Structure formats: C-alpha cells, structure tokens
A = this chain, B = another copy of it.
Amino acid sequence: MSRARPSQPVKRPPPAALKAPGGARAVAPARADATRERLMAATHELLVERAGADVSVGDICARAGVNVAMVKYCFGSKDGLLQELLDRITAGFAQDVSRLDEQELDAEEKLRLHVAAIVNGYVRYPYLNRLINTQLLASDAKVVKRLSRHYAQPMRAWHERMLSEGARDGTLRKVDPTFFFFTVIGMAEFFFTAQPIMRQAFAGRDLDESTVTRFIDHTVEVLLHGIGRRASAR
C-alpha cells in the first residue's frame, strides 16, 4: 500500500496553490482575511496528507496556528469550511474552461485539454472525490445547489457549446450535453474513488505519475473517439 500516512506527507503543490486553482482565485474576498486563508491552506494540507480521511477542527487549527474558535468565527462550522474549500476548487475548474476559450483551438482540441485537466484536478486535490461523494450522498439541498451553481451548470454549459461547435464544424457527433457532463466527470472520478480496488485487485498498478499519464491518454482517446466522427487511425 502506498497511501499517504500522516507521518509521511507526499509531495503535492503547496497549500498556497489553493489560492490559484487553475491559475486564479475563484472566490476572492475583497480584502484577504489572513486567518481564513490559513485555515483553508491547513485544511487542504491535512486532507492531502490523510488522503481525504476526516480531519478534526483541532488538527486544522493547530496546523494553521490559530485559536480553535476561529473556524466557527470564519466559516460558521467545519462543514462551512469544507464547503468553502470545495466551492473554490470547483469554481476554479469552471474558470479553467473559460480560459480554454481564449485559445485558438477547435472544439475537439479544447475538449482534449479539458479532460486532461479534469483528471489532473483529482490528482491535485486527492480529497476531491471523497468531498464531492460525501456531499452528494448526504444530498443536502443547500450543498447540492452550491455544487450545481459553482460547478455543474457552468461546466455543462461549456460542454454544450463545445459539442455544438464540433457538430457545426463536422468533427463531432450530436451528443446530449447533460449526459456528456456526467460521462466526463464519471470517467475521471471513479478511477480515483476506486483506487483501493486498483491496489487490491490489480496489484502492481499503483497510482504513480506514469499511470496517471496513461490513464489521461486512455480517457481522452475513448471519450474523443466516442463523440468524434473520424475513423480511428489506430
């Protein structure tokens, strides 16, 4: 087993990277509240080290070097803190696709980069699938509304635009954009959620960089051939 244990933190982007999911701050308070930011960064750091397993308010505050009362003061509760963390990450993903639009690429090429970015998101935030799944399974209306607004709706709208462009320029088949959203995220997400199976059932296939690269290639190929009009070259 190669899971990160608290005693052996794996190398990941420093917590400061959280301020820039995809390059820019997703939710920027008018004036940076240093305590809020330290709590966000500490939570990110601990969740990475513990592979997404639960972290306590005490641990978060100890890591951030702030009083335990600050979580309640800044976020209302630990759930509020985790929700804010998820909001920032998912809003960053939605911003990533807007940035793709600024490039001179056709829809197919943008979708390729997008799929790779989605998979890399689960590598960068290895607690993301657990955070999203836990919240989806709880099915709390307010939480689902935030996930929808920050993430699902902008992402699906972008998918719809790409699919229309691709259909117009003749490279892509007609594909339902709502189903497509679930297909893209599901293909990426389950691979990470199912890592315990990967380690147990298919020994020797640990999640190193080369496996992630090959998984991205696989996912991009299956998906783009899946919605494309061209015959496969391979």
Seen from chain A, the residues whose Cβ lies within 8 Å of a Cβ on chain B are: 3, 52, 130, 133-134, 136-137, 139, 141, 144-145, 147-149, 152-153, 156, 173-176, 178-180, 182-183, 185-191, 193-194, 196-202, 205, 214-215, 218-219, 221-232, 234
Chain A interface helix/strand/loop/mixed: helix
Shortest CB-to-CB span from A197 to chain B, Å, is 5
Of the residues B141, B187, B194, contact of A187 by C-beta under 8 Å: B187
CB neighbours (8 Å) of A137 from chain B are: 52, 130, 133-134, 193
CB neighbours (8 Å) of A199 from chain B are: 144
In the bound complex, CA of A156 to CA of B198 (Å): 11
**Cβ-closest chain B residue relative to A229:** B232
Are B231 and A231 in touch, CB under 8 angstroms? yes
Are B185 and A190 in touch, CB under 8 angstroms? yes
